[in-house]
Structure 1
Amino acid sequence: MAGEFSNNNLEDNNSSLDIKEEILNYLHYWKWFALSVILGVVLALIYLRYTPEIFSSSAKIKILNESQGLELSTQRGGGGLFTDSKSLENEIQIIKSNRLLVKVVDSLDLHIRYFIEGQFTTKEQWNGPLKIVYLEPNNQISSQIFNIEIKENGLTVSKGKDRLDEFTIKGYNLNSPKKGFPFLIQSESWIKNQIGLNYIITVQSLNSAANGLSNSISVGKVGTTDILQLSMTGENKKRSEDALNKVVEQFNEDGMIDRQLVYQRTIDFVDDRFIYLAEELDSIEDNKKDFQQDNNLVTFNSDVGYSMGKRSSTENSVFELENQIALAKLLEEPLTNSDLSSLLPENVGLQSANTNGIISRYNQLVLERENLIASAGSQNPKVIAFDRQLIDLRVNLKKSLNSYFEQLNTSLIRLEKEKTTAKGLVHSMPQKEKVLRSIERQQNIKENLYLLLLQRREEAAINLAITSPSVKVVEYASSSGKPVSPDTKGIYMKSVLAALILPFGILFLMFKSDTKIHDKTDVSKLSKRIPIIGEIPELKSEHRLFENPHDRTILAESFRILSTNLRYVLNPKNKNTAQVVYVTSSIKGEGKTFVSVNLSLAYSSINKKVLLIGADLRNPKITVTDGSKKAKGLSNYLFESGADWKDYLQKSSYNLEYLDVLTAGTIPPNPTELLSNGKLEHLIEDAKLKYDYIIIDTAPIILVSDTLLISQYADATVYVTRAGYTEKKLLGFSSELYDNRKLNNMVYVVNNISESKTSKGYGYNYGYGYGYNKEEVVLKKYSWAWIKNEIKQKIRRF
């Protein structure tokens, strides 16, 4: 139950966070933070001192579109076959390709690096006075490291621990090859100015150096533009700038060479195709000629027009002949009529002049006959003569019509044949057109291709002669004025931050793992309902008793305050009887006997009659008397029948007049039975009439039940806790006793509070010493203690 209450109590109190208190907790260890910050700054200084500075260099280029070369015509035609729309991603991969960077490394000798060895660091040189020239091709060089030490009479070359050779100015020409030596030294004029220096020369293979260059170069787009930015970092700004400019130059040169190769191949390809196209064109033209001859075609349009005209005229002629035949048949019907007085149709559209003349003569005779009959009668000889003429004309008309019929039928037959022939010509024209158009299409394709290739050949020839650049340099390589690494400001900030975090983390773990109480604040958090009436400071010396009533020590003042506060807690009902004060604790070692004795001395120092009783029968500790620890006391009184407690009283060694002591006496085998036999109650009731205060030092509550057996006799129970010793979880048990009213009028006293172990230790020199030892509590201005106190005061006011 105690454990359950303790956990709940701790939970309730831990839910609230006092920011001010947390700050004070950490501020108490400000020296740790200051030392850590100083150490962090020193480490940052050392790091910056021995870390080489890295500079950033960058160049900007724009990739030119290769399809924007010279073109002789705006007719694109099939020109898309010869253009290349590149993406910037492809160009980036080409720039960082090993093939291109190997050329850059080879041309600038980037695989050979020169460093001057200093006392603490090495510094890279670029285009300095020292330069080595390998005797073997660059592509055969392997990774090596050489040391060249420059002396007054020459230089010493070594590879690792092995010395290769030693050169002297007078005895050897540095520019001449020496048997077995891998390189030449370019010049000797620099030696006199370099005496005492030690060069470290690193040599890599071309591929290894190219891979390193690729890793150090970054290429990316500038915003949303088509401009590429090439960036590189390195110790030597000039080396980085030269490398970037060479990369741009090599990339441009590669692109120009590639385009020139394309142009030359285009010319060769077109020349080969010309021969083939010429043969194909000749073959197609021969086929066209043969087809036109075989089909009697001059031109397709004229032949089609002729055929269609022939067909149309034939059809018209047939139509006219059929009309003539129909008209001629119309004249045959009147001729079958024997009546000579009827007229024949005239001018009906017959195209026969003979027939039309006969019809006209016949109608004229009929009219004359009719006129004669009207005047002379039908029997007139002239009328009869007219009749014979009309009959003859009818016979002639029939013969003329028959002859005309034969003529029309013959013409009709001939025209029908011509009509059929014309229809056949028109019907065959689409097929002939299809064949002819196919031949002409092939001819046009070959001609257009021939002309296009001829145009491209001219374009390629001109572009080959005036090849345009691959890139436009927007900005040549330049370097930053300040190094990008190490970041001095950032390193200092990070070191200071890390220096603050480190002690903070350690303290945080210490605070979280700390299960002890350290001051009254910890106690009040965990047991808010129980009042705290006093704090006892940690004593540096062995002097642990309130010996002198006029003592001005911190110990004396703390117990004066405790005794005063306790008087307000007691609130006696009968002022003529003594107040009974129990002093107890949770476990052994928390200082309950120490508090009991000094509280008794504090009351006696103000001339109050005090009885101090040692009720911890199992572990007696009271030693403020002249008698022995083995002297008889409370246990003997409780055990012996008829004994008088006054016979066991002892006088205090420090206040003979006002303080009496009843020690625990002989350690009994059964302290619980003795305390519960009722004699202690008689003792207390009797002593109340003789004393002002009865202070009883009882046993620890958690260890034994002795105190709870006699708790009902107390007017107040002083529960002692010890800073740095009492577990926080034990306060839950004491709170449970308070809630269940097992201890009367319970109050806390926090013992052994150390200013050096708590962030709230500001009160002893000020609170307890105020007005007494002023010369001891005045702090030297601007001392560490003064600064610390000022900071704490400001935080408290905040």
Structure 2
Amino acid sequence: MEISGYFKLLKKYILVIIVVVAAAVVASYFWVKNLPDEYVSRTQIATGIVDASTHILDKDNSPNAQSDQINREFSNLMEIIKLKKLIDQVSYQLIIHDLSSSAPFRKLKNDFKGLSQAAIQHALVVYRAKLITGAPLSLYNKDENGLNELLISMHYDERSLRKYLDIARDEESDFIAVQFTSENPQLSAFVVNTLAKEFIDYYSVNIKKNESNAVDFLSNLLEEKRNALNQKKEELQQYKIKNGILNLDDQSKTIFAQILAYTDKKLENQRTLAANEGALQNVLSKFDPNSRKYIEASINQNNAEIATTNDQLKALTDEYVHAGFDPKYKPAIDSLQSTLVKQLHTTSDKYLVDPRIGKDNLVVKAQELEVSRDLAKYSEKSINKELASLNAKFSRLVPFDATVKTYEFDIDIATKEYLDVLGRYNATNLQSKFSIRLAQVEPATPDVAQPSKKMLLIGLSGMASLFLSLLVLFILYYLDDNITEPSTLVARTNLPMLGALNMIKGPKPDLRKLWDVENRTKMQQFKELLRSVRFEIDQELKGEKVLAITSIGVGEGKTLIATSLAYAYSSINKKVLLIDGNFVNPSVTLSVQPTLFVEDYFRATSYTEWDNAKISVLGNRGADTTLLEINDEKLIAAQFEQLKLRYDIILIDLPPLDSLNNAKEWILFANKTVAVFEANRSVKNSHKEYIAYLKTLNNKFAGWILNKATIIGASKKSKN
């Protein structure tokens, strides 16, 4: 598809386009000339949303979060203004004004022109009641449905008002603009001011009430959570008092530290006991019985004193352990130990004259070890007793700790719930105190009429009709798959093109008079294009002589082209033979009335006397036959060789390709074949098999000739 074809189509229908556009412009003029003027009233409502001073205490004051919140708040406010409830309030006030005022905005229309005064008063009562309650008219109620029809007739209903109502935020400002357009300046101002007032009242009453209800609810919930938290704390306190618990963590830490300390003492005491026992056995092993008897006999008196001191030291050590190793017992223990050592030394010094005096030191050492061993043994009992007491105290704290932790866990949960509600309460309370304050900046006033858009509408109608016309023609052009140009035929078939011939206007031409003097002017463009086709054929023949001319279907003009080519070749002094190969429809034979026939020549049953004219015609008798039924292929080929010797060019007017083998038999003997395609026809699916056959001819197919094409400017070009 080429865009040039579309422009040719536009040129063809240019007058139709002009008429359509002119009609649209005229119709638009008569439609808009009686339109009333438009009056626009506008007011602004300050919201305080973008006032920075009201958002100092906002929790999230980041730019992006604040911008998103601002957009949401503005969208919410604008949707509230568009509520049906608010617009209904405006509708009621408009109709009340028109029914009760001597200067109404609009007069009653249609069936309501003749309303009685009683009916008007009844309507006013109902409208005023609905205005006070804010309730809509019930369409199920016959009376109220009639009043709704009255609103619709006056164009005061919700749908009509919304149509001319414009609500938007003024760019990035703090204001919401409310604008209304009507044919009456007072009406426009009244609608804008009334809607702004109803919106501010509705927001102040309902929205603030919701905020107050939320604060009250959170306040009551906060009090409940506070009481629950205090109750949990009181239960924990009473449990500690009842069980004598001061601080479980500190108590358990103290007892555990004491257990560790006594455990260390026990281990140290066990090491001392084992060491003393071993050392004592080692010392005693060095004494024999006689020596031991001597020593025991000699020191009985001193031993009694040592035993007394030893008993005192044991008792004091028990008190020291039971007191938790109180440092105040340490000096007394050290003093008794010193006394015990002196008594032991006295016992050894008293018997220096004994011949066995060398063993005295061992005896003293053994006594010291016995004392240390006994002290360690007695201390272990006291330590074990204290450890048992501490473990019993620690075990007693375990159930207390579990119960206390349960109370503390409940207190933690109650505390979190209380703090969460407290945060919500503070945020909601703060928001309610610093929420936006709506105010109408200035009331709307009646304004002058808007510039007339009548000329603009007329111009738009003309442009729209022009666009629709162009669009319709483009759609027709796009959907039209008829072939009008040679390039389109080449693209559709992928076969070469020889040229195109124009349409010959007027009645069907007589082939015998086609080239007469009286037809030269009418045939000038056709002749010029034919010469071009003749040149292209000569280039394809390259000295060969037999050219077959066929078409895909009937009526595409191949006979006219074959005859015209015969005259074209005769005009350059070529001796031409035109063969009518169409046995089904022998058009050439019927037009020329030749004396020579295909059946006679190729059967060779009689002598053929050829004339010496530039153009000879070999017709056929139109019998139900084919070329190969006339004679053998070899004999026919030989006859064609004889014809090539007699003529410079042989043109064969073949039957169309849809006549099955009739055309194909003639093509066997042709050097080149051309196919005629009539313009303004489409390539159908049934043609594809014939196009495929032409492709199988390879070099024997010279190309297409597009016939009856619309060719502009060819004659002018030739004159230049």
| TM-score normalised per structure 2 | 0.50
Structure 1 residues 141 and 698: alpha-carbon distance in aligned structure 2, compared to 1, 3 A threshold: same
Partner of 2:92: 102
- 2: CA distance between counterparts of 1:482 and 1:249? 25
AA of the residue aligned to 1:489: L
Query: Quick one: distance in 1 between partners of 2:183 and 2:507?
Result: 63
**Structure 1 residues 134-533: aligned runs within 5 Å:** 136=121, 138-140=123-125, 204=151, 209=156, 211=158, 215=162, 217=165, 219-245=167-193, 471-479=439-447, 481-482=449-450, 489=456, 492-493=459-460, 495-527=461-493, 529-533=495-499
| Offset of residue 475 of structure 1 | 4.5
Quote the Cα distance in structure 2 between the aligned partners of 1:709 and 1:135.
98
Aligned to 2:526: 558
- Describe the shift of the 1:726–1:223 C-alpha distance in structure 2 as closer, same or farther (beyond 3 A): closer
Give the AA of the match of 1:674. Answer: I
- Contact 2:566 2:576 survives alignment (8 Å): yes
Report if aligned partners of 1:635, 1:667 keep a CA contact under 8 Å in 2: no
Q: How many Å separate the matches in 1 of 2:559 and 2:85? A: 87
Output one character per residue of 1:690-710: Cα deviation in whole Å (capped at 9) or x when no partner.
222221111212322223223
Q: Is 1:715 aligned to 2:656, yes or no? A: no
Provide the C-alpha distance between the structure 2 equivalents of 1:246 and 1:218, rounded to a whole number of angstroms: 14
RMSD of aligned residue pairs (Cα, Å): 4.8
Could you say if the C-alpha distance between residues 623 and 35 of structure 1 is closer, same or farther in structure 2, counting changes exceeding 3 Å?
Answer: farther
* SS, match of residue 543 in structure 1: coil
Cα distance, 1:595 vs. partner? Answer: 0.8
Taking only the aligned residue pairs, the percentage that are identical comes to: 18
Amino acid corresponding to residue 600 of structure 1 in structure 2: A
Residue 569 (structure 2) pairs with residue 584 (structure 1): no
SS of 1:714's partner is coil
Structure 2 distance, partners of 1:59, 1:573, is 88
Q: Provide the secondary structure at the position in 1 that maps to 2:554.
A: coil
1:723 deviates by 0.8
Other-structure match for 1:38: 22
Instruction: Determine the C-alpha separation between the residues in 1 that align with 2:79 and 2:580.
Output: 96
Residue in structure 1 matched with residue 503 of structure 2 by the alignment = 537
Question: Could you say what secondary structure the match of 2:548 adopts?
Answer: strand
Displacement after TM superposition at 1:592 (Å): 1.0
Name 1:376's counterpart in structure 2: none
Aligned equivalents of 2:499 and 2:197: distance in 1?
88
CA–CA distance in 2 between the matches of 1:736 and 1:589? 21
CA deviation profile, 1:436-478 (whole Å, cap 9, x unmatched): xxxxxxxxxxxxxxxxxxxxxxxxxxxxxxxxx9955425334
Query: Which residue pairs with 1:668 in the alignment?
Result: 624
Count of matched residue positions in the alignment of Structure 1 and Structure 2? 436
Return the alpha-carbon distance in structure 2 between the equivalents of residues 555 and 49 of structure 1.
55
For 1:697, the equivalent position in structure 2 comes to: 653
| Structure 1 letter corresponding to 2:569 | Y
Name the structure 2 match of 1:48: 32
Cα distance in 2 for residues equivalent to 1:737 and 1:48: 64
Q: Secondary structure at the match of 2:700?
A: coil
The 1:240–1:25 alpha-carbon spacing in structure 2 relative to 1, beyond 3 Å, is same
**C-alpha distance in 2, partners of 1:98/1:682?**
103
Q: Are residues 1:635 and 2:599 paired?
A: yes
Shift of 1:236: 1.6
Q: How far apart, CA to CA, are the structure 1 residues paired with 2:664 and 2:645?
A: 24
Say if 2:588 and 2:619, in contact at 8 Å, map to a contact too: yes
- 2:188 partner letter: S
Cα pair distance change 1:560/1:609, threshold 3 Å: farther
TM-score (norm 1): 0.46
TM-aligned CA deviation for residue 673 of structure 1:
2.1
**8 Å Cα contact 1:57/1:480 also seen in 2:** no
Higher strand share: 1
Please say if residues 486 and 497 of structure 2, whose CA atoms lie closer than 8 Å, have aligned partners that are also in contact.
no
Gaps of 5+ in 2: 50-72, 111-115, 128-148, 210-436
Q: Distance in 1 between matches of 2:447 and 2:476?
A: 50
Q: Distance in 1 between matches of 2:8 and 2:193?
A: 60
- Distance of aligned partners of 1:730 and 1:694 in 2 relative to their CA distance in 1, 3 Å threshold: farther
Which amino acid is the alignment partner of residue 703 of structure 2? V
Secondary structure of the residue that 1:661 maps to in structure 2? strand
Q: Which amino acid aligns with 1:139?
A: L
In structure 2, do the counterparts of structure 1 residues 529 and 220 end up closer, same or farther at CA, with 3 Å as the change threshold? closer
Q: Distance in 1 between matches of 2:629 and 2:586?
A: 17
Q: Could you say if the C-alpha distance between residues 728 and 549 of structure 1 is closer, same or farther in structure 2, counting changes exceeding 3 Å?
A: farther
Q: Specify whether residues 89 and 676 from structure 1 end up closer, same or farther in structure 2 by C-alpha distance, changes over 3 A only.
A: same
Which whole-Å deviations, capped at 9, do the CAs of 1:568-624 have from their partners, x for residues lacking one? Answer: 54359997xx82221111111111111111211222234432211101112211157
Query: 1:762 corresponds to which residue?
Result: 712
Q: Deviations over 1:133-187 (max 9, x none)?
A: 9873552479xxxxxxxxxxxxxxxxxxxxxxxxxxxxxxxxxxxxxxxxxxxxx
Contact 2:40/2:182 (8 A) holds in 1? yes
Is residue 570–residue 716 contact of structure 1 (8 Å, CA) maintained in 2? no
Q: Is the 8 A contact 2:492 2:683 kept in 1?
A: no
**SS of aligned partner of 1:38:** helix
**Correspondent of 2:42 among 58, 68, 76:** 58
1:734 and 1:532, CA in 2 relative to 1: closer, same or farther beyond 3 A?
Answer: farther
Instruction: Tell me how far apart the structure 1 counterparts of residues 19 and 488 of structure 2 sit (CA, whole Å).
Output: 28
Alpha-carbon spacing, 1:713–1:59, altered in 2? closer, same or farther (3 Å): same
Spell out, residue by residue over 1:15-53, the C-alpha distance to the aligned partner (whole angstroms, 9 max, x if none): xx6445544454543334333322332333233235444
2-structure distance, mates of 1:498, 1:711: 56
Q: Quick check: which one's helix share is greater?
A: 2
Say if 1:114 and 1:764 are closer, same or farther in 2 by CA, change over 3 A: same
Per-residue Cα deviation, 1:633-686 (whole angstroms, up to 9, x for no partner): 213444x55223x35x6x8xxxx9322211122413455422654443233222
Residues 704-755 of structure 1: CA distance to partner in whole angstroms, max 9, x if unpaired? Answer: 22232232432332211111246366775565345422672522211112x3
**In structure 2, what residue type is equivalent to 1:570?**
D
Structure 1 or 2, whichever has the larger Rg, is 1
Unaligned runs of 5+ in 1: 1-16, 66-84, 123-130, 143-201, 263-468, 756-760, 772-798
Q: By how many angstroms is 1:541 displaced?
A: 3.8
